[in-house]
Chains A and B, each alone.
Chain A
Amino acid sequence: MSRSNAHRLVVENLSVTYKVRTSLLQKRPLHALRGVSFNVGAAETLAIVGESGSGKSTILRAISGLTSYDHGDISIDGEPYKPANSNANAAEISLVFQNPNSSLNQRLTVGKIITDPLHSRKSDESQMEVLHDVLSLLKLDHDFINRYPFQLSGGQKQRVAIARALITNPRILLLDEPTSALDVANQDQVVQILLELKSERQVSSIFVTHDLPLAYKVAERVAVLYLGVVVETGTRDEISLQASHPYTQALLLSIPQRKIGKHAVSKKLHMVGEVPSPIDVAAGCVFRSRCPIAMAICSEVAPQPVQLSATQVVACHAVSA
């Protein structure tokens, strides 16, 4: 992962730790993210895939500024970036939340909701112009401007949320499981729109999801996250056809049979246990408690990322370049 200016967003060594109360007198550290590094190119979508407790939402919260991080470096287009909640910030990064019902102010009209980020930055006329632009982009009826959220369907509401995120023309769009609350057709529509956005607006996106096939549909590159650690990164073909980390392979094998046209490998997954608690994780590889090939070294030393190809990186003691 070279630090070239070709990358729009570079995140290096991001760590977020919370202190949580585990009993009446005790507070323990919860390692939500541990030294996470990744990058996103211009007009590219990176999918971050992980299950619960992986820290995938925390990444978005840290980059956008909702949560503070302990250490890490973020740079946008080569310039160091400090997340702060301000108008200027909105021009760089926007966030779309998972649930469109709670991310829109029920008391405002759609028009007001979408143009609120522009408040005090633009005149009313130019606001209307930009509003119409973004409504067309999201394939929303211009009549909606005077409607209220409760009059819209789930898919429409989510598109309004995306429209609001885009109105400031951000360079980077963060999406936190934007389709998991939608039904199948709406999900597909949002995906199509996101794909078009790349060419129309040249916006880079980070798409967080737990659904690997969805990530495959939406993104060119995928980063797999487990317990706050990026275990593997690669292009979508590399992740699906050349998966090298045991966890990535487990995710692939968990996909219901029918979704896979042709197995290159015929294995049935037998995985025990669940994702362990992110509180007080001991040294070594985070995945060792469920890994079928865990070795002695896995309990002692956390594996360092190894470059398997120009685009594929994996962190596992069993895989060498």
Chain B
Amino acid sequence: MIVLCLFFLGASAALFLGSYSFDELWVGERLATSSTAHLFGVDSFGRDYLTRVALGVLISIGVGLSVAMISLLIGAPVGVYSAVRGGWIDSSTGRILEVFFAFPQILLALVLVTIVGSGLFTALLVLTLVYIPIVVRFVRNVAMIEARKDYVLSAQLYGCSRFRQCFVHVLPNLWGSLLVLASSICAFAMIAESTLSYLGLGARPPVPSLGILLTENQGFLSTAPHLVLFPAVVLFLLVLSVNQVGDALIDKLDIKRHFVRG
């Protein structure tokens, strides 16, 4: 978790404090490795690499968080309502979900992008769309278990409206699972976005998404490996730390609630 925060802070700092813009050219120093002036070196066009990687990080984080939040915002209520409502609405939801999962996600994303067109924003939209069914399925499963518990049955008995049952009783009690789901989706979305931009279907140059950085510089693997190494390692660490964040947050938030018994 600390790592993630460091990343975020580091990337933001690099951008704000750095005196370089991401497409400023230092032609004379092309492909140079790390130096005091350019901590990550300079790429083939002469752009400061640290700036570009930092921006790439921000893009990844941004996409990851947005996809996670939006898909959860839309998918979770659907999942909870379906589980609480039961009956034919729930069975239909189940069937629809099954249809979605007949396709592999990335393939779905690729197809959609090909139809809609490329670009960072479109990539974001497409990914959100693809992840919504995942959220619905997951939330529906955990909500089904929660909705069978005594306190929900009790609410049902004293005439609590379905709406309240969903949003006052069931959903708040799922926060732990939702948090884990959110961090997983964030991590997956980051990788997916990098993949899409690597394939040229997401962000387009000169936007320095980490995937783009990999595409652009893979030809220089033997001559200037740092150009490939930095984004790859950074992406790896980013995803790793996001996965850890979910777990860490649950522990932290849970303990806070458990103060000394009155």
Contact = CB atoms under 8 A, between A and B. Distances in A.
A116 B160 CA distance: 8
Interface in A94-116: 94-95, 97, 99, 102-108, 116
A87 B159 contact: yes
A66 B156 CA distance: 9
A107 B173 contact: yes
A90 B153 contact: no
A45 interface: no
B151 A85 contact: no
B154 interface: yes
B157 A66 contact: yes
Nearest to B160: A116
A147 B257 CA distance: 11
Contacts of B150: 97, 99, 102-103
A151 interface: yes
B252 interface: no
Contacts of B258: 150
B160 A117 contact: yes
A102 B151 contact: yes
Contacts of A95: 154, 157
A86 interface: yes
Interface string B144-182: 000001110111111111001000110011000000000
Given A99-B150, A102-B149, A107-B172, A64 B157 contact: yes
Interface in A231-253: none
A212 B151 CA distance: 28
B95 interface: no
A103 B172 contact: no
Contacts of A53: none
B151 A87 contact: no
Contact of A89 (B159, B168, B169): B159
B257 A94 contact: no
A88 B164 CA distance: 17
B157 A85 contact: yes
B261 A151 contact: yes
A117 B158 contact: yes
B262 interface: yes
A87 B164 CA distance: 13
A33 to B, nearest CB: 19
B155 A116 contact: yes
Interface-central residue, A66, A94, A102, by most chain B CB under 10 Å: A102
B154 A119 contact: no
Given A147-B262, A150-B258, A66 B160 contact: no
Interface string B204-228: 0000000000000000000000000
Nearest to A118: B158
A95 B160 CA distance: 14
Interface string A251-285: 00000000000000000000000000000000000
8 contacts: A89-B157, A90-B158, A95-B157, A102-B149, A102-B151, A106-B173, A148-B257, A168-B158
Given A94-B158, A164-B154, 16 more contacts: A64-B157, A66-B153, A87-B158, A89-B159, A90-B158, A90-B159, A95-B157, A102-B149, A103-B151, A103-B154, A105-B168, A117-B158, A119-B164, A151-B261, A152-B262, A161-B154
